[in-house]
Structure 1
Amino acid sequence: MTEATGIVGEFLSLKEETEADLLAMQCGDFYEFFAADAETVADELDLKVSQKSSHGSSYPMAGVPLDDLTPYLKALVERGYRVAVADQYETDSGHAREIVRVVTPGTLLETSDADAQYMVAIVADSSARGDDPAYGLAFADVTTGRFLVAEAEDADEALTELYRFDPVEVLPGPEVRSDDDLLGLVRERLEATLTLHETEAFAPKRASHAVREQFGDGTVDRLGVGESAVAAAGAVLEYVEETGAGVLASMTRIQAHRGDDHVTLDATTQRNLELTETMQGEREGSLFATIDHTATSAGGRLLKEWLQRPRRSLEVLERRQESVGALSTAALARDEIGDVLGEAYDLARLASKASHGSADARDLVAVRETLAALPAVADVVAANPDLADSPLAEILERPDRDAARELRETLEDAIADEPPSTVTQGELFRYGYHEDLDEVIERHEEVREWLEGLADREKRRHGLSHVTVDRNKTDGYYIQVGKSAADGVPDHYEQIKTLKNSKRFTTDELEEKEREMLRLEERRGDLEYELFEELREDVATRAELLQDVGRALATVDALASLATHAAENRWVNPALHEGDRLEIEQGRHPVVEQTTEFVPNDVRLDDDRGFLVVTGPNMSGKSTYMRQVAAIGLLAQIGSFVPAKSAEIGLVDGIFTRVGALDELAQGRSTFMVEMSELSNILHTATEESLVVLDEVGRGTATYDGISIAWAATEYLHNEVRAKTLFATHYHELTGLADRLPRVANVHIAADERDGDVTFLRTVRDGPTDRSYGIHVADLAGVPEPVVDRSRDVLERLREEKAIEAKGGASSEPVQTVFDVSSGQFRGAANTDGGSPKSHAEGDDAGALDAETKQVLEDLESVDVNETSPVELLSKVQEWQRTLEK
């Protein structure tokens, strides 16, 4: 077998050992991909494919230089590939290779993305029964060492947590793998790679052992989570170890993420409120992008975490508010803190790189400089009385300041100010750090100075001109003399090369110095690398310290960001409490106000006024108004100031929104089915401590069905759930609910109509409206004029007929039915004998109906919506609709 065939055969053999998608195998100074892998990599990364031929066989080959593997790995992994890396090592018989790590989206350390990079394992609770089991989840970010476990009561809650953490890689447990519905939603909702890790890793006893080994014997009891969450945590630990990421040392603590400590924000709400990205998937225009003024990647990551996981603790939020308030009025100190943090690096990620063994000398310089930021920020805080009396001082005292100072001083004594990018070429350390190294450095400097002065000495000694001393890989050190002076060189010069305008020579003395220089360089490189590995390992053992310092600096950064935005945009500190009252005076939408002149509006929700029916013209701002209220409530529960003149906000346990709907045809779900699923989730999940925002419920189906569902949902939310609710609707019939339900009130978005022109005032006023101005909006949207004109004619005709019917007059139209909210019934709007409207189920009109229609109306009148669940009511409505369509 030839060498080429042997290399390819070895490649294919190693490829069979791994479940990775691609294999990068070291061959000398290159990492090579062969066969189908070469073609894949070439297509993805625009590499050139060459051919390795032997004995009539040809193998595609694509490679990257040894030192350039990282950016190519990163690009492949970000495209969703798992890449195995096989390194080469020397044996007595030649070269051998073995897979040293498998790089996956969840184990990629070489990331420049500031966002968290979570992998998650999800395990179904083996003790659960029925169609909707509970789940255990474990989230780990190998780039920072952050490790969390959580529990979810059902698939919806599990999906909410997955969407909240936005993992890049998902490890489904054995039972989850067979759940096509759940996996389908994971694929549809998340841009994550699904990895089928070995089943045995999820075994409870094995997983529990792995958790105890990593975090200590009392960990499982301390966490207080179920077996499924522990199984998920153990599977993640084994996966990280098996992939060779080498970062387990950075995972120093495991924490339980508990839903009752945080505000529930389901996936739909996070999308509708555009927390971290817009509906179009862009960062710009999101709430996070609007308030993010952080100076560090760690600070930005923490601020996003706060936004996606708001807190319910009044104490925690008031402490954040106090810090934001102090920073917002201390502009100079805030700028000083920003300047210091602007020079800081991501300590949590540097700790992981040190644990992995991939941190270089420049990374340790970054650790050193960032550790110096801690006392620098603390000094700024201490110098300002308002900041010194705020929780900021305590935040900066939480890390072990003495240990941080000791490590910083060690790194200052050790690492040069500007070390090289590689750790094997020497010149990493300062003189005075290590005695043996100092001796090597001294002699190395002596030889280097001798070589640097050789040219001048030779000119003076032998009267030569045009003499230089240099070095290259081919000739080593040499004396180069111009051709015009080359004939005058001394006899002990030995010529080694003739060039066009010069000749190169060597001498016995120069060769001896060259050999000594090479020995010194090798010795210095070896000794510095050995010392550097010891120092890097020392830094790795301080991973928890680095994480603590990094967290403290990130917290100050996130708070300063909120303060900056509050100061620049006239935001106010909301009064928080644990009651039901939510009152906002002249509130503004935090994102919209950045791009347009915004009309402020008020809102009041309390025990007596807990449900607002919002009506008004199309495009007048109903959705913006309701999202504004939800966004202000959410900002308050991360400790932020809010866009308003004043605000009093009762803490909520969840924010739920249903605004618009999209088809999910891949899952066989129409727009209306998506709408009903979202409504069902809200009705089942929201509590009396929640804030609910509903927009146009029931618009995805026939009018009667839609009104029925909207009416029933309103009563259920009012009577059973009792959540604070804003409900926008075009069903003006629903405004009558304010007369039937004690906590319902009407508000509307005002419009001014003069001489046929409509102006949307964007102002919220009490009371209902009975017009939507849809034709005016159609005109604004550019609908052809004949269509608009015809629409106006039809609308005017319908209004005239409605006026006639209201007076009890005859109509040439068939009998119509309308929904009477005051009674909760459909009733006849007109009849053919000129009498007053009657129920279709009574009097002479009943006899004019076929039996099926009559039965439907009787069933409808007999339904008690207060005793009928929303799902059952929906089923009945669909059954009635099918009957009437026959």
Structure 2
Amino acid sequence: MDAALGPPEKMAENEDDLTPMMSQYFELCRKYDDSLVLFQVGDFYETFCDAAERTARLLEIALTKREDSTGTYPMAGIPIDNAESYIETLLDAGYRVAVADQVQDPEDATGVVERAVTRIVTPGTLTEDELLDTEDNNFVACLTEDPDRYGVALLDVSTGDFYATSARREELVADEVSRFAPAEAITEPDATADPFEADCMVSPYDAEAFDPDAAADRVERYFGSPDALLAADVEVRACGALLAYAEYTRGGKRADGHAGEDGHLDYLNHLTRYEPREYMLLDRVALASLELFERRTVHGDADVTLLGVLDETSSALGSRTLKDWLRRPLLEPDRIEARLDAVEEWTHDVQAREAARDLLRDVYDIERLIARISRGRANARDLRSLKATLDVVPELKAAMVDFESELLTELRGNLDELADVRDLVERAIREDPAREITEGDVIKPGYDDELDELRATEREGKAWIDDLEAKERERTGVDSLKVGHNSVHGYYIEVTNPNLDAVPDDYERRQTLKNSERFYTPELKQREDEILRAENRADDLEHDLFREVRSSVAAESERVQAVADALARLDVLAALAEVAATRDYVRPEIGGDGIRIEGGRHPVVERTQQSFVPNDTRLDAEDSFAVITGPNMSGKSTYMRQVALVTVLAQTGSFVPAASARIDPVDRVFTRVGASDDIAGGRSTFMVEMTELASILESATDESLVLLDEVGRGTSTTDGLAIARAVTEHVHDEVGALTLFATHHHELTRTAADLPRAFNLHFSADQTDEEVVFDHDVRRGAATASYGVQVAREAGVPDEIVERARELLSEAESADVEVEESDPETGGVEDDNSEPTPKAIADGAEDELAARLREVDVATMTPLEAMNELAELKREVE
């Protein structure tokens, strides 16, 4: 981001020579030097000088010129009515945008019209519907640090969701931040830690906002004593600074310890302080490799993720909450069981579930509505939408009247019907109000006597004018006479030139046109004045009345937010029940020892394949480490992810795709799955793999679930096997985590046989001359081959390369004149100290070739490039 834009270049040698308007613009640019200022001039937001050149280039709009007494300079503007789409482009380009509106009626101005920055639009503090994804939170984060601790605060300005926590290590902070995927982050000016890894806009903010006393005062103004809410000074400073930043973007003063009234966010009612250990931790690597929210590949349906499979929610409220539950699965068995009880009750009562889901479809995003209402940015239609949602509440409570589970009973009790708010909106706001709140047609007749009288005067006057045309035609005998109105000249009587002789003496000329003249009469002028006075007074009064109603509703923001939370959680529970009922999911048992799954299925893959082979899993204190071997494409990675996803679902409180499951909650899921590099960061695929592996070895506990796939494949076979074996021994002996380790290093199966809590699993396949047939069935014991050459053939590798690879493999196998019998369980030989046999060498060569072939993206190459690349592989194998 261009964090310090500074004011535009000067237009004049002496700034005293600037016009008042341009002096005003330059002053705002200096005050908001971290933002691009959009300066209202009439119906446009304008930029000037070098800012105009930059804006015109980014937005692809015309660069014009403005001329005044100081000279000529560049100017570029965007229409206010369509500003949001242009602002989005500026945000994507890395800018903050300060919107400077006219805050004075030009007719009341004696000099230059007064302007002020009313909002600063940044990626993390968006509140505009046009810029927000309705189904995602939009967090801004704040990081603070002390010598021995890091604090994190996260705020969604559009909903009021506010969280805080702290940790002693930077990598733990990074893991927590990755849960929420903030769109923006601020840090102290001298911060040394950066847990964001450029995934969002990161900027230093004013040091005064992080002052302990100022931060504590700000937290106390919003939520009460910070000592009662937060556990460490770094958390207080993070929350206080984040509040200061949010106030600043809403138009408050900048980091002076006391925000202006306009910047205060009245709807922020709750600050949730949590401990990271309260939830299963899924870091950014696990979120990506398990594809909870996004696919790792560019091919296929982007919605084929765990969230996409589960999201049967009926509202934006529910969709956001479901994502939060998946981001933070539970650890406490009682809380998990409470959710499962609720899902089970919804599952069994089909009629109640369908009735509730139908009602929830009529729920608007009242979490963001009440935030907009509280900020004074809601229109009359927003209030009607709030009422329409609240109207659902009594019916939803009735649909749940027979439920007995603790959580559903609690949530039903939290459904405040807000009868006073509903009644106020119903009495005050028209059913189909105008979008603009300053032009009438917002307040219902009968709500205010004075308004009704003014509207009656307006109607009577307009009715008199409607009758005037017929009366004047009869009086003058001019059939073409018309009575009309325009915004410049008001009401008039128009007579064409051939009929001017018939104009009465009391007509006074108002306007001359080419073919006619326009007149008014004293009585028409009097009526016009009465109508305009009544209309203007009524519009002003209606605007005032609407603002009063809006303020009254805003005062109940905490109650509305509580209802929004209850509706959101009910929506998620009903959606999980719908998934369970329609996709043959079962309720998991929570507790016991380890993970036991019978007939487990991958929740995403089974939705994309015509058939899916279920598999069993047992990981516990006796058998905690599984070494998985088998051919490429046989299902090893799918199987490992399936176990992790079933575990995540169970701890989220969802039923799971299996015949049965018993899950002892794990504190964290670690994944080292798939190949990736970081070219920009100067890290190879192997370096990324080792970095992720180091994190696992440092952080995993005996309550974790660890998935390892092809550890050590990015280096030589000897190095890779050595690393894989050392990792296996360390995780087994020192960490004790429940582990699934998929590998093509068949020698590792002998290591598993030597470790008391390790065992072998394999996926078998049947090979013919034409193809390899995978049964995708996991079984005890070790695989006998990887079928890498055959898989390469099916992937489209040129026949000559495949045939040469087969020759090399055949030569290695024929040289194996004395091969000892392998134990079907261990896959190894009895003498652990024996030298590798030719057969083992051949298998290693096949594994190496298969691994190298996987790295060759033939589809992106020309035939000649593919031939050259694969020929080089052939020479290396030889």
Structure 1 residue 802: deviation in Å? 3.3
Question: Take 2:166 and 2:636, find their aligned partners in 1: how far apart are those partners?
Answer: 36
SS in 2 for 1:264: coil
| 1:198 match | 206
| 1:794 match | 808
| 1:877 match | none
**1:127 to 2:140 alignment:** no
| 2:835 match | 828
SS in 1 for 2:117: strand
Tell me if structure 2 keeps the 8 A contact 1:273–1:631: yes
| 1:455 match | 469
Query: After superposition, what is the alpha-carbon deviation per residue over 1:483-518, rounded to whole angstroms, capped at 9, x for unaligned?
Result: 787765544344545667766443222221111111
Question: Structure 1 stretch 89-98 or stretch 698-707: which is displaced more?
Answer: 89-98
Structure 1 residue 732: deviation in Å? 0.8
Question: Take 2:484 and 2:581, find their aligned partners in 1: how far apart are those partners?
Answer: 61
Query: After superposition, what is the alpha-carbon deviation per residue over 1:409-435, rounded to whole angstroms, capped at 9, x for unaligned?
Result: 111111111111111112211122223
Question: Take 1:75 and 1:448, find their aligned partners in 2: how far apart are those partners?
Answer: 46
| 1:392 match | 408
SS in 1 for 2:166: strand
Structure 1 residue 74: deviation in Å? 4.0
Tell me if structure 2 keeps the 8 A contact 1:211–1:220: no
Tell me if structure 1 keeps the 8 A contact 2:189–2:205: no
Structure 1 residue 358: deviation in Å? 1.0
Question: Take 2:326 and 2:474, find their aligned partners in 1: how far apart are those partners?
Answer: 74
Residues 56/236 of structure 1: CA separation in 2 closer, same or farther (3 Å cut)? closer
Question: Take 2:470 and 2:380, find their aligned partners in 1: how far apart are those partners?
Answer: 36
Tell me if structure 1 keeps the 8 A contact 2:678–2:685: yes
Query: After superposition, what is the alpha-carbon deviation per residue over 1:753-809, rounded to whole angstroms, capped at 9, x for unaligned?
Result: 2345311111112211021110011101111111100100101111222344769xx
Match for 1:746 among 757, 760, 764? Answer: 760
Structure 1 residue 56: deviation in Å? 8.0
Query: After superposition, what is the alpha-carbon deviation per residue over 1:812-858, rounded to whole angstroms, capped at 9, x for unaligned?
Result: xxxxxxx9897876x53479xxxxx9xxxxxxxxxxxxxxxxxxxxx
| 1:586 match | 599
Which residues of 2 match residues 734-773 of structure 1 at below 5 A?
734-755=748-769, 757-773=771-787
| 2:121 match | 103
Aligned-partner residue type, residue 338 of structure 1: R
Question: Take 1:824 and 1:13, find their aligned partners in 2: how far apart are those partners?
Answer: 79
Structure 1 residue 469: deviation in Å? 3.5
| 2:290 match | 273
Structure 1 residue 9: deviation in Å? 4.1
Which residues of 2 match residues 350-429 of structure 1 at below 5 A?
350-382=369-401, 385=402, 387=403, 391-401=407-417, 404-429=418-443
Query: After superposition, what is the alpha-carbon deviation per residue over 1:349-385, rounded to whole angstroms, capped at 9, x for unaligned?
Result: 1122122221111111112212222222112222xx3
Question: Structure 1 stretch 459-468 or stretch 8-17: which is displaced more?
Answer: 459-468
Aligned-partner residue type, residue 127 of structure 2: L
Tell me if structure 1 keeps the 8 A contact 2:820–2:829: no
Match for 2:705 among 683, 687, 691? Answer: 691
SS in 1 for 2:114: strand
Query: After superposition, what is the alpha-carbon deviation per residue over 1:211-258, rounded to whole angstroms, capped at 9, x for unaligned?
Result: 1122112x32333x2111111111101111222353521111111122
Tell me if structure 1 keeps the 8 A contact 2:229–2:273: no
| 2:94 match | 80
Match for 1:243 among 221, 245, 249? Answer: 249
| 1:41 match | 55
SS in 2 for 1:117: coil
Tell me if structure 1 keeps the 8 A contact 2:646–2:657: yes
Aligned residues: 799
| 2:274 match | 257
SS in 1 for 2:165: strand
Match for 1:285 among 304, 328, 331? Answer: 304
Tell me if structure 2 keeps the 8 A contact 1:123–1:232: yes
Tell me if structure 1 keeps the 8 A contact 2:319–2:572: yes
Question: Take 1:468 and 1:600, find their aligned partners in 2: how far apart are those partners?
Answer: 82
Structure 1 residue 624: deviation in Å? 0.8
Gaps of 5+ in 1: 129-133, 808-818, 832-836, 838-886
| 1:840 match | none
Which residues of 2 match residues 159-558 of structure 1 at below 5 A?
159-176=174-191, 178-179=192-193, 182=194, 186-187=197-198, 190=199, 192-217=200-225, 219-223=226-230, 225-244=231-250, 246=263, 248-280=265-297, 283-382=302-401, 385=402, 387=403, 391-401=407-417, 404-459=418-473, 465-466=479-480, 468-480=482-494, 488=502, 490-497=504-511, 504-558=518-572
Question: Take 1:4 and 1:427, find their aligned partners in 2: how far apart are those partners?
Answer: 43
Tell me if structure 2 keeps the 8 A contact 1:734–1:821: no
| 2:718 match | 704
Structure 1 residue 683: deviation in Å? 1.7
Question: Take 2:481 and 2:817, find their aligned partners in 1: how far apart are those partners?
Answer: 110
Structure 1 residue 152: deviation in Å? 2.4
Question: Take 1:341 and 1:47, find their aligned partners in 2: how far apart are those partners?
Answer: 43
Question: Take 2:584 and 2:471, find their aligned partners in 1: how far apart are those partners?
Answer: 73
Tell me if structure 2 keeps the 8 A contact 1:293–1:561: yes
Question: Take 2:286 and 2:788, find their aligned partners in 1: how far apart are those partners?
Answer: 27
Residues 24/799 of structure 1: CA separation in 2 closer, same or farther (3 Å cut)? same
Aligned-partner residue type, residue 231 of structure 1: R
Query: After superposition, what is the alpha-carbon deviation per residue over 1:627-676, rounded to whole angstroms, capped at 9, x for unaligned?
Result: 11111111111111111222222211111111023222333322222111
CA-atom RMSD in angstroms: 2.7
Question: Take 2:661 and 2:579, find their aligned partners in 1: how far apart are those partners?
Answer: 17
Which residues of 2 match residues 612-761 of structure 1 at below 5 A?
612-755=626-769, 757-761=771-775
Query: After superposition, what is the alpha-carbon deviation per residue over 1:547-576, rounded to whole angstroms, capped at 9, x for unaligned?
Result: 111111111111222222222222222222
Question: Take 2:362 and 2:491, find their aligned partners in 1: how far apart are those partners?
Answer: 42
Aligned-partner residue type, residue 292 of structure 2: L
| 1:852 match | none
Question: Take 2:91 and 2:465, find their aligned partners in 1: how far apart are those partners?
Answer: 47
Structure 1 residue 54: deviation in Å? 4.1
Question: Take 2:806 and 2:272, find their aligned partners in 1: how far apart are those partners?
Answer: 62
SS in 2 for 1:730: coil
Question: Take 1:389 and 1:583, find their aligned partners in 2: how far apart are those partners?
Answer: 26
Residues 50/718 of structure 1: CA separation in 2 closer, same or farther (3 Å cut)? same
Question: Structure 1 stretch 157-166 or stretch 560-569: which is displaced more?
Answer: 560-569
Residues 806/587 of structure 1: CA separation in 2 closer, same or farther (3 Å cut)? closer
Question: Structure 1 stretch 88-97 or stretch 505-514: which is displaced more?
Answer: 88-97
Aligned-partner residue type, residue 321 of structure 1: L
Structure 1 residue 460: deviation in Å? 5.3
SS in 2 for 1:122: strand
Tell me if structure 2 keeps the 8 A contact 1:396–1:553: no
Residues 428/213 of structure 1: CA separation in 2 closer, same or farther (3 Å cut)? same
Query: After superposition, what is the alpha-carbon deviation per residue over 1:117-142, rounded to whole angstroms, capped at 9, x for unaligned?
Result: 11010112x232xxxxx311000111
Match for 2:170 among 137, 144, 155? Answer: 155
Question: Take 2:431 and 2:509, find their aligned partners in 1: how far apart are those partners?
Answer: 41
Tell me if structure 2 keeps the 8 A contact 1:465–1:482: no
Q: Normalising to structure 2: TM-score of the pair?
A: 0.86
Residues 527/74 of structure 1: CA separation in 2 closer, same or farther (3 Å cut)? farther
Tell me if structure 1 keeps the 8 A contact 2:331–2:665: yes
Structure 1 residue 729: deviation in Å? 0.5
Aligned-partner residue type, residue 119 of structure 2: R
Residues 602/532 of structure 1: CA separation in 2 closer, same or farther (3 Å cut)? same
| 1:882 match | none
Structure 1 residue 116: deviation in Å? 0.5
Tell me if structure 1 keeps the 8 A contact 2:438–2:539: yes
Query: After superposition, what is the alpha-carbon deviation per residue over 1:700-753, rounded to whole angstroms, capped at 9, x for unaligned?
Result: 222222112211211222222211111100011111234212222211112112
